């Protein structure tokens, strides 16, 4: 590919004339926005060990009362994007959120979509659109765009969860905002959801909910059981993995980001091909090694890492006796809608 002209090759008076008219020549910067074969990626491989950030998160609970925080969160920021930009990748925001006993994080709704992956503790809940979702370790709770949500804690020990939002993308599109609200009245319990078991629905009068998000709470106890059953019933399957989906349509549970849970069998080494989307790996149980681009992240319980797109990944379970369970987030749903999604051998 031949070299293109540089900005410095143009006469100063010509460059100044362009600037005065808010014009920019394309060719000096063309390869910056259209590089050959592999995109320019600011996302760096990075890991956030939970046992290192947990003391700082608990200290935040001592230093900042809820009324001064609204949401008490430490952002997991990728240095490749600049820490001030609060991005884990170009499209994903990550944060570790703390709720202390007796606290209530006030109701609001916002345009970015969010999910909560519960990391530790019990007795807390999220109410989403009037539906109360009790939190247990490993549960996934959705707070989709535009739905009122708030967090409360009736237990006696700190509760922590991982927030995953499409905030960077929504902010980039200049569509990010929040509306504050009042405490919601609980109109339903997530535990009473119609979709309690895969393939089982009330009959004969079942009707679709007409909601884009008929399930808001995916309990880990059920997801874990599904992974273990899959590993037992399909011993030759390449990857023991399940996706979090809309049970009425089979589509991804949210529209921009996708979420799944992966089980690494004892001693298993799994090679993932390079995909166009960046990926977040969060260790729910056990331990695993994430190897990418010369980095090897040793994940223990609740550790989180992020890797850039167009990069092959190897996942390894060093335990010869126990499985490892990993929560995965990526922006594959958005890329597929835009026709940008790729898998490279």
The answer as to whether 17 is a domain residue is: no
Q: Report the domain count for the chain.
A: 1
Residue 214: closest CA among 253, 164, 166, 257: 253
The answer as to whether 39 is a domain residue is: no
Q: What per-residue confidence (pLDDT) applies to 3?
A: 81
Distances (CA, A) of 154 to 73, 185, 219: 19, 16, 19
Contact call for residues 145 and 127 (beta carbons, < 8 A): no
Contact call for residues 90 and 278 (beta carbons, < 8 A): yes
- Partners of 131 in beta bridges: 128, 188
Q: What per-residue confidence (pLDDT) applies to 196?
A: 73
State the sign of the Cα–Cα–Cα–Cα dihedral 75, 77, 81, 82. Answer: positive
**Model confidence, pTM:** 0.94
Contact call for residues 257 and 116 (beta carbons, < 8 A): no
- Taking the C-alpha atoms of residue 310 and residue 197, their distance in angstroms, rounded to an integer, is 36
Residue 215: closest CA among 181, 176, 161, 259: 259
Q: What per-residue confidence (pLDDT) applies to 251?
A: 94
The answer as to whether 11 is a domain residue is: no
Q: What per-residue confidence (pLDDT) applies to 293?
A: 87
For residue 150, give the CATH number of its domain.
2.60.120.10
Q: What per-residue confidence (pLDDT) applies to 342?
A: 97
The ranges of the chain with pLDDT < 50 are none
Q: What per-residue confidence (pLDDT) applies to 331?
A: 98
The answer as to whether 29 is a domain residue is: no
- Taking the C-alpha atoms of residue 193 and residue 214, their distance in angstroms, rounded to an integer, is 9
Q: Return the half-sphere exposure (C-beta side, CA atoms, 13 A cut-off) of residue 320.
A: 0
Per the listing, tokens 């026709």 go with: 339
The answer as to whether 289 is a domain residue is: yes
The answer as to whether 205 is a domain residue is: no
Other C-beta atoms within 10 Å of 61: how many? 17
Q: Return the half-sphere exposure (C-beta side, CA atoms, 13 A cut-off) of residue 39.
A: 16
Q: What per-residue confidence (pLDDT) applies to 157?
A: 96
Residue 310: closest CA among 89, 93, 94: 89
Domain span including residue 285: 46-195+215-344
- Taking the C-alpha atoms of residue 5 and residue 2, their distance in angstroms, rounded to an integer, is 10
The answer as to whether 206 is a domain residue is: no
The answer as to whether 70 is a domain residue is: yes
**39-96: pLDDT as tens digits:** 999 999 999 999 999 999 999 999 999 999 999 999 999 999 999 999 999 999 999 9
Q: What per-residue confidence (pLDDT) applies to 154?
A: 95
**Helix boundaries (H) for 64-197:** 167-172
Q: What per-residue confidence (pLDDT) applies to 213?
A: 92
Element spanning 325, H or E: strand 324-330
């Amino acid at each position: 590919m031949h070299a293109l002209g540089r900005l410095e090759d143009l006469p100063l008076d010509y460059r100044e004339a362009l600037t005065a008219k808010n014009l920019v020549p394309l060719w000096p910067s063309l390869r910056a926005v259209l590089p050959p074969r592999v995109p320019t990626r600011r996302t760096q491989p990075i890991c956030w060990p939970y046992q290192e950030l947990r003391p700082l998160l608990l200290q935040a609970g001592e230093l900042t009362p809820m009324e001064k925080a609204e949401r008490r969160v430490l952002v997991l920021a990728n240095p490749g994007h600049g820490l001030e930009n609060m991005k884990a990748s170009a499209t994903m925001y990550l944060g570790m959120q703390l709720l202390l006993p007796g606290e209530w994080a006030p109701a609001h709704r916002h345009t970015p979509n969010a999910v909560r992956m519960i990391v530790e503790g019990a007795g807390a809940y999220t109410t989403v659109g009037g539906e109360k979702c009790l939190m247990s370790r490993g549960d996934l709770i959705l707070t989709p765009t535009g739905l009122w949500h708030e967090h409360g804690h009736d237990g006696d020990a700190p509760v922590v969860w991982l927030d995953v939002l499409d905030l960077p993308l929504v902010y980039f599109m200049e569509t990010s905002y929040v509306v504050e609200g009042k405490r919601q009245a609980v109109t339903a319990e997530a535990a009473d959801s119609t979709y309690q078991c895969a393939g089982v629905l009330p009959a004969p009068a079942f009707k679709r909910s007409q909601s884009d998000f008929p399930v808001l709470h995916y309990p880990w106890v059920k997801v874990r059981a599904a992974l273990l059953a899959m590993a037992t019933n399909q011993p030759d399957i390449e990857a023991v993995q399940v996706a979090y989906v809309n049970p009425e349509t089979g589509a991804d549970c949210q529209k921009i980001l996708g979420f799944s849970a992966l089980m690494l069998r004892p001693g298993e080494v799994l090679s993932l091909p390079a995909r166009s989307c960046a990926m977040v790996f969060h260790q729910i149980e056990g331990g695993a090694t994430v190897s990418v681009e010369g980095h090897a992240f040793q994940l223990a319980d609740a550790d989180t890492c992020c890797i850039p797109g167009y990069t092959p990944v190897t996942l390894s379970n060093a335990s010869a006796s126990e499985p490892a369970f990993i929560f995965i987030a990526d922006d594959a749903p958005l890329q597929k809608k835009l026709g940008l999604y790729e898998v490279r051998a």
